[in-house]
Amino acid sequence: MARHSTQTVRRSVALPRQLVDEVLSVASPESAGNLNRLVTESLREFVARRRALAFDAAMTQMAADPAVRKECAAIASEFASTELDGFGHD
């Protein structure tokens, strides 16, 4: 994963003890001893998940667009004759 900056931003957060205990119970041994690393990993996963959800929503919206569906059908029709190329069914 590419990092955009090497600068560190310090923030103070208050976390429920139960959540911290739960996170530590499932964290890898390398991360369990470093709450800062766990928070950083969690935030990166959060960003990746949100970006994936946004992409999925955009693809769903695009797939429902009649103009896109029409163009995809036209492209599929143009290439239909080449689908079996190389399989000996000429």
pLDDT (tens digit per residue) in 16-67: 999 999 999 999 888 888 999 999 999 999 999 999 999 999 999 999 999 9
The pLDDT, as a whole number, for residue 29 is 87
Domain ranges within the chain, ordered by starting residue = 33-80
With cut-offs at 50, 70 and 90, classify the pLDDT of residue 88.
Answer: low
Helices 35-64 and 17-26 pack at an angle, to 10 degrees, of 90
Give dist(CA 7, CA 9) in Å, integer: 7
Distance of CA 36 to the CA centre of its chain: 22
The pLDDT, as a whole number, for residue 39 is 92
The pLDDT, as a whole number, for residue 31 is 85
Residue 1 pLDDT more than 60?
A: no
The pLDDT, as a whole number, for residue 54 is 98
Q: Which amino acid is at 56?
A: D
